[in-house]
Amino acid sequence: MKRAAVFLDRDDTINVNAELPAGAWEGVKEGDLLKPEYAVLMDGVREALVALKNAGYVLVVITNQGGLARGGGTTRCVEAVNDALREKINGKGCGVYGEQLIEGWYFAPHHAEGCVEPYDCDHPWRKPHGGMIRAACEELGLDASTSWMIGDKQRDLDAGMDAGVPEAHTIQIGGGCAHADLMAAAEEILTEPAGSGSEVDAHPEIEPGTRVKLESTDAGFVPMADERTREMVEAVARGIAERTGIEIHELAIDSKHIEVVIGVHRLGALAFMAQLRRDTNRWHERNFGTALWSVGRDW
């Protein structure tokens, strides 16, 4: 089965670019980030990536790097910047469950106004074309029609749509946009009504903590009428909390839903419930042949 992905632009989506100091652009066109010492993550990026990864999405970077066509550097320079970002994103050498948070990094070194062969041309990989996404879908087993595209430029969104990502699943971030940054975009994805099956209800009197609820989307399906199932769901929730170091302040469970108050911010709480949903769905499918929370649909 092909997997859903979140395709991500790089510069000014994952890492700072427009606000870098002048030293970043010595010998290159402004915006062509080819110096790894200037690889700086934007605020909230790692938290957003962890939440999306925990929710089951494959994370893939697609980035135009026309600086190579302009003679500002080589593919080694691009990879050096990517390596620096990977190290910052994965912390002490590990991602979620020991995996890299971002599974694929693709870049297009082409530019029609370049001077370095063979990159001095337009190319199907260069955004707004969708070639990088198509390649990622083929190589990584991804389904563009269930995936998302996030970037700070319209060409990022256009590339997604060109490769088959639904227009409703393209999100532009940055100043003047409805979503300020990657964290806001991730929250939009994780709270999509047709996808997560989870709801967030702010309770400011509980500090620190976020209240989240996971319930069946089918009114005729009572997934936890069975006591064994309820016990399993609670055990999985507490197990996830123990593994991740998250404190559960409150936990309530009945035949239709589980509701918890956990000591993390809103996005982290959504990631927690997404993981709970995925793990318990798999258990229920193995034992009873149906998903627990959303009949007939995986995350």
Catalytic residues: 9, 11
Plot region of 174 (φ>0 → left; ψ -120 to 50 → alpha; else → beta): left
SS3 state of residue 267: helix
Angle at 47 between CA 46 and CA 52, to 5 degrees: 95
Q: Give the CA-trace dihedral at 111, 116, 120, 125, to 10 degrees.
A: -60
Please give the Cα distance from 41 to 16 (Å, whole number): 6
Count of CB atoms situated within 10 Å of the CB of 25: 17
Handedness of CA 162, 17, 181, 103 (dihedral sign): positive
Q: Give the CA-trace dihedral at 47, 50, 54, 56, to 10 degrees.
A: 120
